[in-house]
Structure 1
């Protein structure tokens, strides 16, 4: 009977459970379908969420269920390109314990009442979205909360102190500007606390954080911390990762640090710490990475060499003096040392076994140990700016992984060994300003990856060896100030990447090979040699005059007609004739000089009489020239650019100074340079002239082009600027010379331009909006330093708090104009930030902002669409290669942040500068922690190992 009873009752109970389960699944399916309807899903990521499909537990993307109850307990829709407001219906799933919507485009505020319904949540991840407003109140059961990479603002709610079980809290990279939440010290369960990159009020590191004895990660980088380190920090016995970088902490780094027995990484760089480092470093038995660079520290304890697991030591840009510890590297697996820009003296320790060694700009001396030359894993060996002596050891041939060898500004002597030709991976070899002798080894011609060879200011001699054509990647060849002889090899003309060639101050003879006209040189110098014959036509122009001087035998249109005399005549006869001609020439020159001075005096008098009423000069800097010097140079042969509004001239003045002159046409309206657009109510040139003068006349910044003066008359207006020899970024980047812009140069251009715009937005009162930021308006000096130019449509913005300024025109250029102009013409700095983001994308991709290749898209949309298909290699300019890929990816991500379609979600230019500076792999190498990179990590990610780390 028991069995019979069991058989009768049990099926009814099972049927009841099945019915309840089915009902629950139907309700949860309906809830999820409502969620789907409320989200923007351009990639159809939720296509598996359909009305007629099985239970959400069976094949719905990102949905998981409890195996017993079949209730939805996990929804993971991260990296799905979803947009819209936060789907509050998800909180109706009463068993939901895990929710991740990270790395999407969820926007708006988090409704407090709805979030409170998600009481069952244990894991909530909304990182890298577009959420705004205040932070939500604490949820009672959370173990993990990640809201980083949004735009939350205001204070951290006091309710966060009441989390009973929270283990991980990350609020990185928001706009939280209240006090640093010291009350979080009450959340005793915390193991990971990440509050970095928020503009908290200036405050000290809360001593009560020492009560969080379970902490394993404490990350407070860029939190406006001031004051000294509290001793209570030493109580964090479980701490593995401490990051207090990018703050304003002062005082000494106390012994409390050495009590962190579990710590693996300590990062205190970019603060103002001073004094001695603590002496008990040997207590830190698990420490692998120690970075206190960019502080004011003065002494390095010997005990640091006894930290048994130390792998990375970064001490650059301090005031450290004395000798490097003798035992450095003997008791630990050191793979990276950077002590650049300090005051160290003495010799290099002999027990190092490294992958990266930077000793730049110290006072180290003596011979470099042979073991250092031959380190098998080293890829960067930087010894420049010291007092090293001796020769380059033959052991260098064992450094098979070496990519960059920088030896300049030392006292190295002797020959360059043949063994250097064994370094297949060598990209840069710089040994200028030494005492090297002998000839260039033919073995150097085997270095097919070599991009830069700089040996200037040595005592090298002999001929340039044959085989140059193999150096297909050579970008710079600098051999000036040596004793080289023989002819200039015609092979140089076959180097497709050669951009900079300097052979000046040597003993080269013969002619300049016509094959050199195949090169696309931005700079060359053959001056002060013994060259003779006719200058090739491409270089027989005025701009190259200084590069040819000091070669009496050269001739042509520029240097005088070539002699047709019988070259077989004896030298004695030639010298006889030459002496006669010199005497006659001297008389002639003196006569011409007298005539010129008289004529100039007469001309100036006439000009002053005839033109003084016409031209008015207004100077903004101390000038060494007058308006008459300018007028003499406005010749058609000197035109270097032209547009609808006028022409730009290169003017080489009588005092030797070179300037750029923009001559605006009278009566022309509109600003139509290239793709420039000024809509209805077009800006007249008068307005553009006044705007440029009004703006640039007051500005003094290294990254804003300098307006020297202006000249006006009734019919014409002249603007005189400093001359930028490398032209505009657009001209260089989008021409055949684009391949010559390597990544470090492009990165420098991005930082320079960002600093210029940051100055306009944040340091000018009132702030200035450029309104036509584009690569055409970023000019490059002789060192490829970037300066923002063309302020013809710039406007001053109302003071903070008074709102944006409404303009009657839309200014900008096609491909650079921010999308909000489609519905508003209220001007603020966010439109400049969007345009700058496009410039960043140009630098990374090498592509123009508008191109038929994109179809109906522009560059911004093309990059986004290509990234969605995970095709990062199709985005990066192939001319950049893969060496700097990690850094390029970070900068690309900054460009995408700047081109966010929602203006309020674009970072300020001040933050853009900071992010660009931090994007340097050397300055911010731990990719896994920086949540601002996480939005890009799925499409542009490299494994970050110590050996693969990029260089400055």
Structure 2
């Protein structure tokens, strides 16, 4: 039959292959339908790293594509695209994949909102992870309609609004994570209707003040409850005790009050309890100390009273007990020494007393012990490091006596030792001076004796050596010069003798040297060329002789120098005029000769007292016999005349001032009516209250664009008022404005701040205009600017966690300007002085006097007629092209990050002709990273600081194309903290949302650091 059909209807031979191809294509279409959906998803995205390059229409199936998994039948079942650097909207085509059960797009740049229609039907979806993206808008109610959904993670986005009522109707949901969004409202009780829920993570959202819903106690399958920083108030509900399957309870950093309920002692499965940073009162329930699975409990920073239940130390699994910053009393039970797994024991700043059990540490793998600022007596336990794991021993601020145990000198794991402010005596074990990993050794304010032994040369990581106010004797050993990482050496108020070792001049990182009130002698060393960082030098109250070395005039950052009460002779070297001294004292020596011209002023008289050889050079420097007149009556008459004249003068001035005030008040009332006020928020004050505060007594700052005043209003609120310079006023280096008070600058700031709303942008309340005068009224930032705080004596307030938070806050503010404003806004003057800090040291970007919007089409701001910005922050291409776009801000932000990491300003005499960016790059290349980092930063954060340094250098790249977007910078900053958390031990069920840190290749910067 086949032959007959062929002979009856012959086909041309060239059509046979074509027919075969068409038949195959017809079969392939059905196989590629899911692939077509995925290609449509890909087409809507920007694949910056080319991770989806092998997704193409030539394949018959998508099962071999990157990130795609299929069933044995060839259907797409899983899509894992974590950290692919994808940018674009969430595609509705994904939910059309009929067998898709696993979908993860975390740590990308999925943006826009998440519409309900994009989440239908998703018939087989079990696992959905969209965490750490850029999604905005309300939480979609349609998520609750996905029939099989068990895992939903939307954390680390920008969702806002309340939790939808529909979220109480998930049929099978087990894990719900909404952490780190902008969700408001209160935590709803209807979540108890999701009876299958095992993990509920709502932390780090700006909820309205509200209580913990008692209904949560109905979720008996719950294994993790994470409600940290949710603005919770009121008591902890008793119903939480019904959560018998709970492994982790985290209610930290809220405003919870009342007592810890005894019902929490019924959490028979709990591994970790975190209640820190609340306002809890009362005693620690004894039931908590009987939980059989408990490993960690942290109830620090509350107002707890009573004693620590002894049964805590009998728990077989207990690893961490943290109760610092409370009002606990009583002593430590002997059972503390029997806790076989205790590694983290921190109970500092309480009122605990008695002795520390002598067996502490013999049976416990202690890593951190901090019992500081209590009332402990007795001796330091001799076996506290017997397990060989101890890294931190902090016992400062107690009444401990006896000697330092010899066992500590063999504890080579020690990194931080603080034993100051006790009653310790005896000699320090010689080997303890040379512990190789210790970076802080604080023995100050005791009665320790003996000497500093040459073994100190082995302490290669030592950064701070603090031994002030003891009874140390003998010479300072020459081996002290081998401590190349030493930043501070404070040994004042001892009995040290002999000359200063010349090896001290080798300490290139030394910032503070305080040896006052000893018996040191000999001449002052002149070989100090490496002291480029020394800012504080105090050698007072010793027996030094000879002259002051002229070479000391070359110390670039020295600002405190005290050589008083010695036996120094000779002239004061004129080279000392090169120093930038805030305070100095040469009094009570035998100095002679002429004073350097800069110091021959009565302003400095107190600095030279007690040097008879200098009396002729500064009148009034030496007190002499004045001779008392015998005619006391004459003196009394003169005194009476002066008193009467003074009374008349005061009365006259008071009357004149009263008349003047009435005149000014009348004039002010007339002027106030002429001011026009434009508000951008609901105000609780009138413009006349602002005008009354524009007095010099309220002046808090003055810059290139105007003066800033602090105004305390009648409603108790405090605001900052910027009065822009008049048209004839002065410009300045701060802003680079050509006519700051003219319409350009004023309209720029009004147009910019008046329309934007972001938690990290300073809030503009209103503006006032009258003829040529213009006022801007902002929210008041009590901690001033980052630059002022970072580069002043208050820099100690900025520990690394605070600096990291400031960097992230500022980055999020700039990211909002660049990516969320339409059209985008370029700040053009990003610098540390324009980042303001609120009462909690949260950061706000401020000063938009030179801001510009970006032209449509992404071409950036057109060329400027003059450079706007500040020295040290200006991007290289902006300086010679006068063209500016978002990349210019990113360069400036990179400089701010370098300030936070190094502690140095953008321009400094220490750099020579370089700026901070060039100095960091050259120092990294020549000397390594340790010569770049701010020595004030705690060494325990080194890894995190290194990564921020990488980001800073990437932002400050010379080529704009190499700089990441601000959105990418925010993401990288978040990844640094996520990585830090992942490297810490965590209990089961905690932090499952975090992924391993992805170290991006930054063109060799990683290897440099």
> TM-score, normalised to structure 1's length?
0.69
8 Å Cα contact 1:410-1:433 kept in structure 2: yes
- Displacement of 1:842 after TM fit? 4.9
- Displacement of 1:397 after TM fit? 2.2
Match in the other structure for 1:46:
52
Choose which of 392, 399, 410 in structure 1 pairs with 2:411.
Answer: 399
Choose which of 202, 206, 215 in structure 1 pairs with 2:213.
Answer: 206
CA shift in 2, pair 1:519/1:846, >3 Å = closer
Choose which of 55, 75, 90 in structure 2 pairs with 1:86.
Answer: 90
Match in the other structure for 1:147:
154
**Quick check: 1:938 aligned with 2:998?**
yes
Distance 2:524 2:166 in 1: 78
CA shift in 2, pair 1:643/1:440, >3 Å = same
CA shift in 2, pair 1:847/1:698, >3 Å = closer
User: Counterpart of 1:313 in 2: which secondary structure?
Assistant: strand
Match in the other structure for 1:313:
321
Please, which moves more after superposition, 585-594 or 834-843? 585-594
5 Å-filtered alignment, 1:674-823, equals 677-678=736-737, 701-704=782-785, 747=801, 772-775=829-832, 812-813=869-870
**Quick check: 1:297 aligned with 2:304?**
yes
5 Å-filtered alignment, 1:564-575, equals none
5 Å-filtered alignment, 1:225-374, equals 225-299=232-306, 300-349=308-357, 350-352=359-361, 353=364, 354-372=366-384, 374=386
Could you give the per-residue CA deviations for residues 33-63 of structure 1, whole angstroms, max 9, x where no partner exists? 11111101111111010222352112x0111
Could you give the per-residue CA deviations for residues 127-163 of structure 1, whole angstroms, max 9, x where no partner exists? 0000011112212210111111111111212222121
CA shift in 2, pair 1:775/1:506, >3 Å = same
8 Å Cα contact 2:901-2:945 kept in structure 1: yes
- Displacement of 1:843 after TM fit? 2.9
Structure 1 vs Structure 2 CA RMSD: 5.5
- Displacement of 1:888 after TM fit? 3.5
CA shift in 2, pair 1:794/1:277, >3 Å = farther
Could you give the per-residue CA deviations for residues 16-48 of structure 1, whole angstroms, max 9, x where no partner exists? x99997433211222211111110111111101
Match in the other structure for 2:524:
512
Distance 2:410 2:45 in 1: 59
Match in the other structure for 2:924:
none
- Displacement of 1:230 after TM fit? 1.7
Distance 2:320 2:490 in 1: 34
Could you give the per-residue CA deviations for residues 633-664 of structure 1, whole angstroms, max 9, x where no partner exists? xxxxxxxxx99999xxxxxxxxxxxxxxxxx9
8 Å Cα contact 2:982-2:995 kept in structure 1: no
- Displacement of 1:524 after TM fit? 1.2
CA shift in 2, pair 1:307/1:555, >3 Å = farther
Match in the other structure for 1:526:
539
Match in the other structure for 2:697:
620
CA shift in 2, pair 1:526/1:811, >3 Å = same
Distance 1:132 1:580 in 2: 75
User: Counterpart of 1:518 in 2: which secondary structure?
Assistant: coil
- Displacement of 1:931 after TM fit? 6.4
- Displacement of 1:326 after TM fit? 2.1
CA shift in 2, pair 1:728/1:83, >3 Å = farther
CA shift in 2, pair 1:499/1:556, >3 Å = same
Distance 2:614 2:737 in 1: 61
5 Å-filtered alignment, 1:577-592, equals 589-590=622-623
User: Counterpart of 1:27 in 2: which secondary structure?
Assistant: helix
Choose which of 477, 481, 485 in structure 2 pairs with 1:469.
Answer: 481
CA shift in 2, pair 1:355/1:465, >3 Å = same
Match in the other structure for 1:215:
222
Distance 1:859 1:536 in 2: 30
8 Å Cα contact 1:680-1:809 kept in structure 2: no
Greater length-normalized contact order (CA 8 Å, ≥ 6 residues apart): 1
Match in the other structure for 1:801:
none
**Quick check: 1:535 aligned with 2:548?**
yes
- Displacement of 1:516 after TM fit? 2.2
Distance 2:138 2:157 in 1: 11
CA shift in 2, pair 1:143/1:788, >3 Å = closer
Could you give the per-residue CA deviations for residues 607-638 of structure 1, whole angstroms, max 9, x where no partner exists? xxxxxxxxxx9642799xxxxxxxxxxxxxxx
- Displacement of 1:551 after TM fit? 1.6
Distance 1:933 1:889 in 2: 24
Please, which moves more after superposition, 542-551 or 283-292? 542-551
Distance 1:580 1:45 in 2: 80
- Displacement of 1:552 after TM fit? 3.2
- Displacement of 1:65 after TM fit? 0.9
Match in the other structure for 1:32:
38
Could you give the per-residue CA deviations for residues 773-825 of structure 1, whole angstroms, max 9, x where no partner exists? 52467899xxxx999999987799xxxxxxxxxxx99965589799xx9xxxx
Could you give the per-residue CA deviations for residues 108-127 of structure 1, whole angstroms, max 9, x where no partner exists? 01121121222321111100
Please, which moves more after superposition, 91-100 or 880-889? 880-889
CA shift in 2, pair 1:875/1:934, >3 Å = farther
User: Counterpart of 1:321 in 2: which secondary structure?
Assistant: coil
Could you give the per-residue CA deviations for residues 516-547 of structure 1, whole angstroms, max 9, x where no partner exists? 24312021111111112121224359976751
Please, which moves more after superposition, 538-547 or 192-201? 538-547
Distance 1:725 1:153 in 2: 34
- Displacement of 1:748 after TM fit? 5.2
- Displacement of 1:469 after TM fit? 2.7
Distance 2:338 2:413 in 1: 21
Distance 1:593 1:685 in 2: 65
CA shift in 2, pair 1:120/1:442, >3 Å = same
Choose which of 860, 885, 896 in structure 2 pairs with 1:839.
Answer: 896
5 Å-filtered alignment, 1:484-503, equals 484-503=496-515
8 Å Cα contact 2:812-2:970 kept in structure 1: no
User: Counterpart of 1:33 in 2: which secondary structure?
Assistant: helix
**Quick check: 1:195 aligned with 2:199?**
no
- Displacement of 1:771 after TM fit? 8.2
Distance 2:80 2:745 in 1: 58
Match in the other structure for 2:670:
none
- Displacement of 1:837 after TM fit? 7.8
Match in the other structure for 1:160:
167
- Displacement of 1:922 after TM fit? 13
Could you give the per-residue CA deviations for residues 313-345 of structure 1, whole angstroms, max 9, x where no partner exists? 111111111112221140441011000111111
**Structure 2 unpaired stretches of 5+:** 1-22, 574-585, 594-609, 628-641, 647-693, 707-724, 750-767, 814-825, 852-864, 879-887, 908-914, 921-928, 956-962, 1002-1009
When the two structures are aligned, how many residues end up with a matched partner?
A: 771
Match in the other structure for 1:136:
140
Match in the other structure for 1:431:
443
User: Counterpart of 1:346 in 2: which secondary structure?
Assistant: strand
User: Counterpart of 2:546 in 1: which secondary structure?
Assistant: strand
Distance 2:950 2:870 in 1: 23
Please, which moves more after superposition, 546-555 or 131-140? 546-555
8 Å Cα contact 2:445-2:470 kept in structure 1: yes
Could you give the per-residue CA deviations for residues 59-101 of structure 1, whole angstroms, max 9, x where no partner exists? x011111112x11111111110000111111122122111111
8 Å Cα contact 1:74-1:98 kept in structure 2: yes
5 Å-filtered alignment, 1:83-122, equals 83-122=87-126
8 Å Cα contact 1:728-1:776 kept in structure 2: no
8 Å Cα contact 1:894-1:916 kept in structure 2: no
- Displacement of 1:493 after TM fit? 0.4
**Structure 1 unpaired stretches of 5+:** 1-16, 565-577, 595-600, 606-616, 624-641, 647-663, 707-722, 730-740, 760-768, 797-807, 822-830, 851-857, 864-872, 942-952
- Displacement of 1:432 after TM fit? 0.5
Distance 1:157 1:127 in 2: 18
8 Å Cα contact 2:727-2:742 kept in structure 1: no
5 Å-filtered alignment, 1:814-893, equals 839-840=896-897, 842-844=899-901, 883-885=940-942, 887-888=944-945
